[in-house]
Structure formats: structure tokens, C-alpha cells
Amino acid sequence: MTEVVAGVPAGPAGPSRSGVVEVPGFARWPEEESPKKRGKALRERVPRGAHAELTLDPGRPDAVTAVEESGRGRISRLTPLRVGRMAATPFAFLRGSAGLMAYDLARTPMTRISAQICGDAHAANFGLYADARGGLVIDLNDFDETVPGPWEWDLKRLATSLVLAGREAGADEDVCRAAAHDAAGAYRRTMRLLAKLPALDAWNAIADEELVSHTDAHDLLGTLERVSEKARANTSGRFAARSTEATEDGGRRFVGAPPVLSRIPEAETAAVAAALESYLSTLAQDRLPLLARYAVHDVAFRVVGTGSVGTRSYVVLLLDHRGEPLVLQVKEARPSALVPHLATAGLPVPGVEHEGRRVVLGQKRMQVVSDFLLGWTTVDGLPFQVRQFRNRKGSVDPAALAADQIDDYGRMTGALLARAHAHSADPRLIAGYCGKNDELDEAIAAFAVAYADRTEADHTRLVAAVREGRIEAETGV
């Protein structure tokens, strides 16, 4: 008779020395070595102070070349719009240049502790959105570049973005540096907190209602309340009311508002609508009866974001039996801009069977709660992700914060980033490396200031190229 321990049949290898069956996919017991000790030992190979280093490679692409390269494969008529948005400010340039920063990060010291990373964890990619019951959640909310990779890359990008956002807001250098320092400190302290908790408690730790207190971000309360109020009104219904009109058969259709919202040919509309059938197969089965109560009425093209401008992105209008709308976004999923630089750094390059699936699974691995209609599909041979559009989304503009709020925002986003990384990397391992003192915080802050300076120089080169006519830019949209 097969021996059963804790309800699990013994595998071919039999029980371990402790008498507990070792099961693939589960941890071994007892642990051969403490993850905290392994993390601490990594400091000998990569001292925490080494993260301050920024040495630019002589072969680094210039700003204009990087922008042009990242635009390949996008819709060419939208390239000037993307360039114009990136040329607006150094912070906007950073938002559109995840690949260029990854080029530089691949040449910095790394612990080689891998986590599911956002890949584009700048300060404007955190925000509010609704859970399945309409409650508001705050978390990372953009995963176009997500891959398994070095946790430091996300933290350095976040810290750099805080410096640039602070400068744009008119904060002095001490405040900007403090925001980067405090973001790293909150990341470190949150990881240490998660490392001390039981695994299940750590997985669900730091509920959103506790976030402000946990990060001592009380100066942000008023701003978060205003953003929350706006987010509650940011719904499919409101978007449809503004962007659609009634049709003769009692349905509705989108009204073009170029260049942001555009009508598309019937064949393109049909292709996007038909792709929703395969999208359904990527959802949990319990979602299907809900979507079966909606009919597809129209599809339009909608320009999105800064870094995403030029990708194919559609909004799909669904109506229920009462004429109430649900709008889905069907957005092209391009290969992550980080992938070539993982290889350069000698890191594992993940195999990807579908880029939309990569985005969706990466998002679910990092968020505490994800959009319950999140899925993927293929349109005319290209991969897309599918999600709700305007599901009570709201965001803080970090470049519009008052000086006394930027460090609060840094602490809050640093904590959220730690929580997201801890879902895929053992928090004990990262916490063991980060330690108790602020050596890492100081190094990350120094890197952030140096890279913010580099980004400002890149932005200046792009603006000069626009003025000289080397690259076309469309502004004011």
C-alpha cells in the first residue's frame, strides 16, 4: 500500500529524512540553508553600496537612435505623436524609454535574485482600479514590459522617476533625493516585514487601507481621497456616454475624435470582434456566463499612454439587455523591451508562447488583485491583451505633487513594489540582502540622481533633434 503523509502519496523518491514526502513544486523540509543567510552572503559578492554605480557603455545608443529603434513595428503615422509626448519633459522621456534604461541597467551590479518584475516601474505606473466588487485597490498597473528579472531594475527605475518627477514639480534637489532614498527604504523595510510573517499572511499583507499608515504617507491623504473620488466616476458607462452615439437599430457606436479615438474599417472591426471568441478561452470558466449577457456593438481605435503610443489598441463596446455598457480594451502586446538586455547581462531569457499571455500572467503574479476580465487573444496574427477599460481607474500625477508629498509617495510606491516582488521572490532572500541599515537606500538614491541627470541629457538631445528636423514630433495632443 502506498504510504500517504499529510494526504499526499509518496513519490518515487520516497519520504525525506524528516519523514515528510518531498513533492515537486513545494519547498523542502527542513531547508538546507536559510534564505536570509543566503541573501546576506550575497553582500560579499555585490556590496549594497555598489548599486550607486552608473558607468555608461561607450556603445550606448544615443537618445534619438533609441527612440527610433523602439518605434520599429509600431504604426508609423503615430510615431510623431509618441516623439512629441516623450519630448515634453525628462520624466516623459523616461516613461517612453524603458528599453534604453534596461540597456544601462544590464551593465550595473546585480544580486541575480530574480523576481517577476514590472520592467517599467516608474512612479506614474501605480494607481487605483476596481476589484470585482467595485472596491478600489492601489497597486502597480502597467505590465507591458513584465518579465522575470532583477528586482533591482524595478527599484532603480522607480527611484529615478521620483527624482525626475520631483524636479518637474519644482522640488529642490534634497527633496528629490530624499524621495528616491525613502522609496528604497520603504522597499527594504516592507521586504523585512514580509520576511517575518507566515507565508500566507505575507502574501496578503499590507491591505490598501493600511498602506498610508505603514508608509507614514499621511501628507498624501488628501490627494489620495481626491484621486479616489475621480476614480469611482471613471467607468465604462461614463466613457460610453461621452464617446458613443445611438444608432437607428437601438444600439450605440463610437464617435471618432481623432487622433485619440478613431473609427476603423469594417474588416478591422470584424477581426477584433472575432478575436474575442478566443479571448473567452483564456478566462476562468465562471466569467463566461457574465460576458454571455453582453452583445458586441462596435470597435474603435484608441491611442494610449506615452511608451505605448503607436501600438495597436482598440476599445470594444459591449451592451447588456438594458443597454448598459461594458468597454473592453484590446491592446497589442509587443515583446518586452527588457528581453535583449537580460541576455546581455547573462540572465535567463524566458520563453514566450504568446506576448499577451506573458503580460497577463506577469500582472497576476505581481498584483494582489487583478482585473477579473483579464485575458489575451490574437488579431490578424498579432498578440493582444484584453482587459476592462475605465474600470474605476485613477492615478496620482507624481510631477504635480507638492514638495512635502513626494517623499510620501516614494515610500508608498516603494512598499507596493516590495509587495509585488514578494509574490515571486522569497522575501527572506531579498530582505537578507537589503539588511537593517540604509546602505542600500543611499546607494539607490545616488544612482537615481545620476540616472536622472543622464535622462535629462538624453531628453535635451531628443528636443534638439526635433528642433533640427532630424525627427518629427507632434505636440499638444
Coil, strand, or helix at residue 99? helix
pLDDT tens digits for 390-425? Answer: 889 999 999 999 998 999 999 999 999 999 999 999
Same domain, yes or no, for 42 and 190? yes
Using 50, 70 and 90 to split pLDDT, how confident is the model at 2? very low
10 and 78 co-located in one domain: no
Helix, strand or coil for residue 178?
helix
Per-residue model confidence (pLDDT) at position 3: 36
CA dist., res. 192 & res. 190, Å (int): 5
In this structure, the answer to whether residues 158 and 43 fall within a common structural domain is yes
Report how far residue 363's alpha carbon sits from residue 361's, in angstroms, rounded to the nearest whole number.
5
Question: Is residue 162 situated within a structural domain?
Answer: yes
Cα 71 to the center of its chain, rounded Å:
20
Distances (CA, A) of 311 to 3, 67, 72, 108: 55, 14, 10, 30
**Taking residues 176-197, what's their average pLDDT?**
98
- 1 and 28 part of one domain: yes
Q: Are residues 3 and 115 in the same domain?
A: no
pLDDT of residue 47: 98
- pLDDT at 15 > cutoff 80: no
Same domain for 201 and 172: yes
CB within 8 Å of 351: residues ≥ 6 apart = none
Give the alpha-carbon dihedral of 411, 412, 417, 420, to 10 degrees.
140
Phi first, then psi: what are they for 18, rounded to 5°? -80, -5
Based on the domain organization, do 57 and 124 belong to the same domain? yes
Q: Tell whether 255 is covered by a domain.
A: no
- 45 and 8 housed in the same domain: no
What pLDDT band is residue 195 in, cutting at 50, 70 and 90? very high
Distance between CA atoms of residues 425 and 421, nearest Å:
6
Instruction: Clarify whether residues 11 and 75 are in a common domain.
Output: no
Is pLDDT of 5 > 80? no
Task: Tell me: do 61 and 18 sit in the same domain.
Answer: no
Q: What is the pLDDT of residues 337-366, one digit of tens each?
A: 999 999 999 999 999 999 999 999 999 999
The residue with cell 469611482 is 232
- Packing angle between helix 98-105 and helix 151-169, nearest 10 degrees? 120
In a domain, 379, yes or no: no
Residue 415, in any domain of the structure: yes
Residue 206 included in any domain = yes
Mean pLDDT of the chain: 93
Is pLDDT of 205 > 90? no
| pLDDT of 131 higher than 60 | yes
* pLDDT, tens only, 67-121: 999 989 999 999 999 999 999 999 999 999 999 999 999 999 999 999 999 999 9
Give the burial string for 279-303 (b: 16+ CB within 10 Å, else e): beebbeeebeeeeeebebbbbbbbb
% of the chain at pLDDT higher than 90:
87
Note whether 132 and 13 are same-domain residues: no
Residues 399, 377: Cα–Cα separation, whole Å: 35
Examine the domain organization and report whether 19 and 67 are in the same domain: no
CB 145 within 8 A of CB 337: yes
319 near 129, Cβ under 8 Å? no
* Structural domains in the chain (count): 2
pLDDT tens figures, 295-334: 999 999 999 877 889 899 999 999 999 999 999 999 999 9
pLDDT bin (cut points 50, 70, 90) of residue 34 is very high
pLDDT at 320: 97
Q: Is residue 367 part of a domain?
A: no
Is 329 inside a domain boundary?
A: no
In a domain, 157, yes or no: yes
Each residue of 416-474: pLDDT tens digit? 999 999 999 999 999 999 999 999 999 999 999 999 999 999 999 999 999 999 999 99
Q: Which one has a higher pLDDT value, 275 or 131?
A: 275
DSSP 8-state assignment for residue 398: G
Packing angle, helices 35-45 and 427-434, rounded to 10: 40
- 368-380 average pLDDT score: 96
Return the pLDDT at 223: 95
* Per-residue pLDDT, 18: 55
Domain ranges, residue 136: 35-218+401-467
**Partners of 395 in the beta sheet?**
127
Are 315 and 299 in contact, with CB atoms under 8 Å apart?
yes
